Every structure is written in structure tokens, then in C-alpha cells.
Amino acid sequence: MEATATQEPANSDEQKAVMALEHLTGPCRGTMTWLWQPAINLWLNPEGYVHLFTAETGQTDGIPIARLHRAEDSYVIEAAEGQRIWVNGQRVSTRLLKDLDTIEFGENGPISRCNLYDDRHRAPESVGGILSDTVAYFRSSRQPLARRLLKSLGQALGRLTRETTILFRLGVVLALLVLAGLAYQQNRMDAMLQQQIASGVAELEGFSRVLARSREDALTPRDLEALSQELQGQLATASERVTQLERRSEASTNVIAQATPFVLFLQGAYGFRETASGRMLRRVLDANGRPVTMANGLPMLSLDGEGPVAERQLTGTGFVAGPDSILVTNRHVGMPWEQDANITTLVAQGLEPVMTRFIGFMPGRTEAVNVELVAASEVADVAILRPVDPETPLTGLRLASQPPDPGDEVIVMGYPTGLRSMLAQAGEAFVEKLRASEDTDFWNVANRLAAAGRIVPLASRGIVGRASDESIVYDAETTRGGSGGPVLDINGEVVAVNAAILPEYGGSNLGVPIDEVRKLLEAAAVN
């Protein structure tokens, strides 16, 4: 906006206040027109510019719009004859202006804001000016460096607090609040991350603890020595009891003999793999190639480890069903990681469970068969496996068309206690030979048993106590480890899949009805 002023104030007493019109609209929006004269006329030219003229100066093109004269350390504005002005949205003919009042000059004139500068209204300093003054003081002062620095900072903070605009101060406060909020949120996220990391470490330690227990469950030379001493005691008695059960009925003997070749001893191991990279969770080795253990004695595990894959080993039972090389077992045998308490946290850290090895031994055969999971039921503890690249198709046990009735006799077959039960059956000479070789590897022991023809399932007889669509309850003598074995009727047909033992209920067992296997077979065929 164009402004003309032809007269300077006569002396400092005359200049009691200064006003600046900050133009908010019009051709010169964003500029300032300064007033200090006792009285001044405002003219509006055709282009929308406001011109200032004192009584001593002539006029140019345009029309008079208002007159300003000093009063009470401010200015009074008077509308020119026949002209209209508005102050703060109200039409006025005369008004004493106050700081930050807004003036609209005529219908087509600009809108301007009054800014008073006196003892009560000081011009706000720019941040750049304050910082420039601070740097100038710091450079020119002859005070000691520490005092200069403290005083410079104090002056800068004081002036930023007192002399900047209210809007700037509010902006600074708002920014500090936002930063404080972000810092608080970041601290919370950091705390949560630390908790997750701590939880992940705890879960990793938990998996290490499981692995340690798995190693404890594996055979050791001491175990073999104890087993050798017990063979003529408790285990021999148990074997005789099983033999007596088998001799109770010629039919039972025939059923056991016919079913034995189709009952598999399953061995497996699983670990955890990083989904993104495919790296396996491994044991950490030191510079000498020895496994590193943590302070609590558990093995240290890492995706960057160079040791063997951290595996959890398992055993179970399965059986061949029907004519199409279908193997049936429990879901918790085919997907053993679901019973691992560490699975949720490890998966949340980007890891996935994966079978590292899964094999089955069939009685009478010396070579193991590699197996893989085909399908697992979402409602029952059953799963379907199949051999990987079988040499010849396998034909197995028949599935019963009707469920058993309470009081019916059933025969349960499987490998309870895994390797230990077969070693017990193998005899003292075999155990002594194995102990002398000092080879108690989980996989090698099973291979030795297979080569010696010692992989034979145990069989026990029981009575059905209850039968429903969800489960079949029977009291056959068995124990943990026989999961996935067939439950046969006296005709040699599979009526259920052995799933769980309930020792607190007099040795009762739970089996999954064979109808659940049929449903799973149908669903797998559809998929």
C-alpha cells in the first residue's frame, strides 16, 4: 500500500504514541502504514490505495475517506462526509481506536488493523532479531566465556518469553506439549518394546528349557544301565501282563497279529524358522565350536548361531488305514508345536514352526519311511499323514462302519514310552550291546531296533465305558506315548484313534471316533 507522509514529528514530546495500520486486504496487503502526526487525512484512490495527507500537503486523485487525530495516546477516526467506515464490524462515524482494532474503509476499500506502540504496547521482536542480538552480544562482550554464555542464554530466553508475539509463544508452548506427548508416547513404546524383548527372551529361554528337558528325556548310558537292571523286574512283569492279556482270547491274538504290520512308530523333530529369511533358530557356538550356555545353564539360541538347529524331538504312533497309503495319527503328533508354550511369542517375533525330520518305522521293515502332514482336523485330535515317495502303495487297516457300544471289547495298539518300551521288549542282551557301543542317539537307537526287527507295538485290551460322537472312553492298559495308535474291535476294524489317557480316572483312555477320520479324509480329498 502506498503511504505518503510529509512531516516528521517536531520533537520527542510530540510523539507520545505511534500507530501502524497493517493492511490485511487490498493491493498492498501485508504492508504497514505508520502514523505519528497529530492529525492526518486518509484518501482512497480508484485503485484501492490509502494515501495519507497532512493539512499542509495537497491532495491527489481520489476521495477523502476518513480523518485521524491524536487523542488519549491513540487516535480518533472520523468518517469523511458521505463516507462509511466500519470498526470491528460496526459502522461508526467516529471512534477512539484501540490496539488491534480492525477498520474497513468504505465498500471497496481495504481492511486494516491498528497496532499501537507505546509504553503499554511494545512492538514484538522477531525471533531472528532476538537471536541476532544474542549472537552480537556474545561476540562483542568482554566478560569471561562462561559468564558470557550464561548471560546470552538468559537474555535470549527472557526476550523470547517477553517480547515475542502471543501467537509465537502459544506456538512454542503447543510445540513443547506436542514434543512432550511424543516423548511420553515414545517412552511408552520403548517400555512396551523392552517388555516384548524381555518376553521374547523369556520365551526363548523357555524353548531352551524345553530343549534341555528333551535332552534329559533322551536315552543316556546310565538309562540303559538302569533299564538292563530292571528288565527282569518291573518291565518283565509288565511284558508278562501284556502277554497274558493277549492269550485271553484267540480272537484277540489274531487281531493283534494281523494289525501289527500296519502300526507305525513315528519319530519327529521340529524347530523354528524365520519367515522372512528362512534362517533356522540354532545353538550358539563359541570360538572353539562348543555350545554356549546362558547363566541359568540353558543353551543359548540365535538365528545367527552356527551350531546345530535347535530341535525338539518327539515320538508317537500312527497306522496305515485303507488301501491308499493313508497314515492316521493325532493332530498333536502331526503338529506337535501347538502344545509348545513358546509358540505364540516366537511366531509374533517372525518365526514359524517347521518339521525338520519326520519318519515312521513299520514292523518287519528295516528302513524308515519319510512322512509328511496332509491334513489336520480343526475339531478333533486327528491328522492324516502320507509317505513321501513310497516305493509301493500301502494297504492297511479297515475302518469300522459303526461305533462300539458300551461293554464292547477293544484292543489298543501303539508305542507307549517310545524307545524305552521297545528296548524293554528287545531284551537284556540287546540293551547290553547298545550300552557297550555308547551310541544312544535318538535316531540311531531307532535304526538299530529296526535293523534287529525289534520295532513291535504293544497291545492291551479293554472295555468300552462310554461312546459318543465326540469321544470313546475305554479302560485299556496303556500309558503316555501311545497317542495316534488304532483302537480295534474284535473284528480287527478301527473304531477310534487313541488320543489321551486319564490316569486319575482309573486308567481310562479317550479315543477319537473313526467318523472324525472319515470327515477329515473327505475334506482333504475336496481340498
Domain boundaries, the chain: 18-117, 127-164, 199-217+249-415+457-526
pLDDT tens track for 79-95: 988 888 999 989 999 99
- Dihedral angle, C-alpha 370, 383, 500, 209, nearest 10 °: 60
Return d(Cα 74, Cα 98) in angstroms, integer: 7
pLDDT of residue 271: 93
Mean pLDDT of 199-220: 59
Is 518's pLDDT higher than 80? Answer: yes
User: Can you name the CATH fold of 199-217+249-415+457-526?
Assistant: Thrombin, subunit H (2.40.10)
Q: Tell me the whole-structure pTM to 2 decimals.
A: 0.57
Cα 83 to chain centroid distance, Å, stands at 72
Neighbour tally for 149: CB within 10 Å: 13
- The answer to whether domain 18-117 and domain 199-217+249-415+457-526 are alike in fold is no
pLDDT of residue 395: 83
C-alpha separations of 72 from 10, 80, 118, 416 in Å: 19, 21, 12, 106
Neighbour tally for 455: CB within 10 Å: 26
> What single letter denotes the amino acid at residue 368?
A
Q: Dig out the grid coordinates for 327 from the structure.
A: 497314515
CATH architecture for segment(s) 18-117: Sandwich (2.60)
pLDDT tens track for 440-473: 888 999 999 999 999 999 998 889 988 988 899 9
Q: Which residues contact 439 (CB under 8 A, 6 or more apart)?
A: 445, 448
Mean pLDDT of 1-21: 52
